[in-house]
Structure 1
Amino acid sequence: MTGPAVLEDLLRTEAPYVLGALVRRFGRFEAAEDAVQEALLDASIQWARDGVPENPRSWLTRIGYRRMVDLLRSEQAAHRRELQVGIAEVTVPAGPAVATDDSLTVVLLCCHPALSRTGQVALTLRAVGGLTTAEIAHAYGVSETTMGTRISRAKQTLRKAGARFTPPAGSDLSERVGAVLDVLYLIFNEGYTATAGAELGRVDLAHESIRLTRMLAQAAPGEREVGGLLALMLLTEARRPARTTADLGLVPLAEQDRRRWDRTLVEEGLAVLDAVWDTSDPGPFRLQAAIAAVHAQAESAAATDWREILGLYLLLERTLPTAPVRLGRVVAAAHAFGPVVGLRLLDELDAEHGLAEDPLTAQRVLAVRAHLLDQRRDPSAAAQFRAAAELTANEAERDYLLRRAAQTRVIVDS
């Protein structure tokens, strides 16, 4: 018997290899992705019962080929004019699966210029990141049905555009880099703080996004923002050992034991950022990496230069005027000048930009407001903590917020 968490990690790791093999063989991404999903479903049932086979990738590839043939045969039955394609002659390859790592090629295919940015990101999160349609929908603040429709349309668009399973180069590669960076960052964020589940994060997703970003940096050495994203990931991932207690409870940044941070990742992240930093034109990922670097170089939370971080957020907001960035500026201002200033800025930005209405920041707005009110010993902080807890499906995050709400009530009552 294999534990569900171990099995889920294994299937997510193998999926891009199997998808790449099917797309390379058949040239039909939309059908191949469906076939892989069916193979993964078969494996999740059979392996949980009988154990993982000796060569799981070969097993998945073999089942994926069979499902692919079934799908194409069914398609031909509905379109008799295509019978000459000869699907019936397709044979399932024997022997071990090809060890080629097609992960980055799959990402680049999913980020085809014919797709909208939402389609690019959603399709890649599902095909390579291993996220379910429900998880992707949650990240975008839409229903699972809506996101399922978007993913289906994206796959159809790839087919109509005649997308080929070949690594893009030159200008074709450059015009896809922006979308790929967004995708990899979203996968990393899901790995660092999962949208749902009992654990705070999903290490496998974070590590996979870092691995893919390293590969992209090698494929596009002149793209400085790729290095910026890699530095950001490394500096952020370095904190993971200190983010949770022994019982997997959340430990906020200010309370983390920085001696537990992974210094190897910190040093590598700082070196990567230095190599790509350009003061004349810092891009959004390099600016976010610079913010992470300020945290990484501070010996303690109290020693953090929050005014420098605030200045970086102001620069970042000019190039990336999003709700999460604006909320980050609120947090920096509150640390630099006190909770009153932070609350005032939060009210101003919320009124102007609707931060509380944005699905990407609605929960965080409540949490930030709760923290700032708590610093002022305002009794309404408890209600804000509870409201924030209700909006998260991550159990570790919810437990932390409810614990803070309880602690606030104790302080007020005492």
Structure 2
Amino acid sequence: MPESLEDLLCDLAPQVLGALVRRHGQFDACEDAVQEALLAAAVQWPDRGVPDRPRSWLHTVATRALVDHWRADGARRRREVTAALDPTTEPPPHPDDTLAVLFLCCHPALSPPSQLALTLRAVGGLTTAQVARAFLTPEATMAQRISRAKQRIRDDGGRFDRPARLPVVLHVLYLMFNEGYTDLERTDLATEAVRLARLLHRLLPADGEVAGLLALMLLTDARRTARAEPDGSLIPLADQDRSRWDRVAIAEGQALLAAVLGATPIGQYQIQAAIAALHDEAVTAADTDWPQILALYDVLGRVAPGPLVTLSRAVAVAMVHGPAAALAELGTLDADGRLAHTHRLEAVRAHLLEQAGRHEAARACYLRAARMTASLPEQRYLTRRAARLSNSGVGR
């Protein structure tokens, strides 16, 4: 299917789903009906052409799927079926439909993986098989996860306090982007996160953290093409060819950030975007304003404290005060169970030990980190760093 057609279906799917949910309720049944309509469109439109009113076409097909479901389920909901069969009853486009679906998918009672999976399915327009591939999970397992998530939303009745749920929505999009950006084989997740963040910003243009998150994504994703060698090996930020960075995306991210800093309450995504902007503005790695980055991490630690913030701050501490000071701060994370299943602590420790000239200890940490990550590019990078220390005479 042509990319433009895929984009059209991705844009229309949450609009149609939102309209159905707003009219009929029953998120799970409506979502299944929309998926049937998308499948029909993917099969028919390439041969027959896109209808003059594609949203109306999808809405009609999805409504018929709902009717079939209700008929198969018995004689209940006769009034709804009668109304649904009337072709003049299609709800008009509603600018809030997609946003409502996104918020529904981010029910706070759902686990983060379930929120993310349901968002990709219902708002991103991905099939269950595509979501399963993105998560490296069997399709049957993902189908069960999505089914349970929809059941939970149905049991809740779709009620929610939108302002209270916005932080959950932002967190889900943040996780989606990080998954896609970190794993070079899952870049579609990062692309989808940027698309959804743009949508959210269009619907909530005055929210500083929404703009901050979109700016963070753009400023970070701008470095994507410089992050890896042709064989997939990762290239550290300091060693990247900055001429390959996407200057258009950087300019857009900077403009978004400039528009909200000082004009809206400060939040974690605005601060992270400001850090990313300082990296992007540096002509060379040596030009990076590390004292300002460290100051921003200090603010971030007060606004959104957590082990990953401490971990990232340690790198800035090393650049400003030296690796010994950074290693001392890193020691505070050894007992934090939240980092027990990630390689990042050992990888940062290895980097700092190497900077400090403790090559044998650094090599051991690199190898330990390589064993802890499931990402092949990360494994290759970490093992090569360890091998480089070995080849330089460490341990001889």
TM-score w.r.t. length of structure 2? 0.76
Partner in structure 2 of residue 109 of structure 1: 104
Q: Measured at CA, do residues 177 and 313 of structure 1 come closer, stay the same or move farther in structure 2, by a change above 3 Å?
A: same
Tell me the equivalent position of 2:249: 265
Q: Is the 8 A contact 2:215 2:257 kept in 1?
A: yes
Residue deviations 1:191-235 (CA, integer Å, cap 9, x gap)? 2122xxxx3551x43333223323322322321111211221121
Distance 1:10 1:390 in 2: 42
In 2 relative to 1, CA 35–408 (structure 1 residues): closer, same or farther, beyond 3 Å? Answer: farther
Alpha carbons of structure 1 residues 396 and 10: separation in structure 2 relative to 1, 3 Å: farther
Residues 49-88 of structure 1: matches in 2 within 5 Å? 73=68, 77=72, 86=81
* Pairing 1:339–2:323 present: yes
The structure-2 alpha-carbon separation of the partners of 1:75 and 1:86, relative to structure 1 and needing over 3 Å to count, comes to closer
Which of 346, 350, 353 is the matching residue for 1:373?
353
Identity %: 43
Quote the residue 2:170 is aligned against. Answer: 181
Question: Following TM superposition, by how much is the alpha carbon of 1:333 offset from its aligned partner in structure 2, in angstroms?
Answer: 1.5
Deviation of the 1:158 alpha carbon: 2.6
The answer for the alignment partner of 2:206 in structure 1 is: 222
Aligned AA (2:344): R
CA distance in 2, matches of 1:16, 1:386: 44
* Deviations, residues 108-131 of structure 1 (Å, cap 9, x unaligned): 33235x755745445324433447
Please give the alpha-carbon distance, in whole angstroms, between the structure 1 residues aligned to 2:269 and 2:173: 12
How far apart are the structure 2 equivalents of 1:395 and 1:43? 37
Does 2:388 align with 1:388? Answer: no
Which aligned pairs between 1:172-211 and structure 2 lie closer than 5 A? 173-194=162-183, 199-202=184-187, 204-211=188-195
In 1, the alpha carbon distance for the partners of 2:48 and 2:318 equals 55
Instruction: Give the aligned partner of residue 29 of structure 1.
Output: 27
- Pairing partner for 1:329 from 309, 313, 337: 313
Deviation at 1:292, TM superposition (A): 0.8
Q: Is the contact made by 1:200 and 1:397 (CA closer than 8 Å) also made in structure 2?
A: no
CA distance in 1, matches of 2:157, 2:11: 20
Q: Secondary structure at the match of 2:287?
A: coil
Given that 2:364 and 2:386 are in contact with CA atoms closer than 8 Å, whether structure 1 keeps it comes out as yes
Cα shift at 1:284: 0.5
**Residue 124 in structure 1 maps to residue 123 in structure 2:** no
Give the whole-Å Cα distance in 2 for the aligned partners of 1:91 and 1:404: 66
Task: Report the RMSD for the aligned CA atoms in angstroms.
Answer: 4.3
Pairing 1:40-55 to 2, within 5 Å after superposition: none
Q: TM-score, normalised by structure 1?
A: 0.73
Q: Distance in 2 between matches of 1:240 and 1:310?
A: 24
Q: 1:65 to 1:403 in 2, by over 3 A?
A: farther
**Contact kept in structure 1, 2:367 and 2:383, CA below 8 Å:** yes
- Amino acid aligned to 1:229: L
In structure 2, relative to structure 1, the CA distance for the partners of 1:338 and 1:279 (3 Å cut) is: farther
Cα separation, 1, equivalents of 2:38 and 2:287: 48
Shift in CA distance, 379/145, structure 1 to aligned 2, threshold 3 Å: farther
Counterpart AA for 1:389: A
Read off the aligned partner of 1:314 and give its amino acid letter.
D
SS in 2 for 1:379: helix
Alignment partners' CA distance in 2, 1:180 and 1:173 = 10
Mind listing any 5+ residue stretches in structure 1 that lack a counterpart? Answer: 93-97
Query: Following the alignment from structure 1 to structure 2, what is the Cα–Cα distance between the partners of residues 148 and 369?
Result: 39
Change (3 A) 1:396 1:33: farther
Gaps of 5+ in 2: 88-92
* C-alpha spacing 1:212/1:81, structure 2 compared with 1 (3 Å): closer
Match of 2:158 among 163, 171, 186: 163
Deviation at residue 282 of structure 1 after TM alignment: 2.0
Give the letter aligned to residue 390 of structure 1.
Answer: R
User: CA 1:117 to 1:220, structure 2 compared with 1: closer, same or farther past 3 Å?
Assistant: farther
2:262 pairs, out of 243, 267, 278, with: 278
CA shift, 1:298, in A, is 1.8
How far has the Cα of 1:38 moved from its partner?
7.1
1:398–1:55 CA distance, 2 compared to 1 (3 A): farther
Q: Count the aligned residue pairs.
A: 380
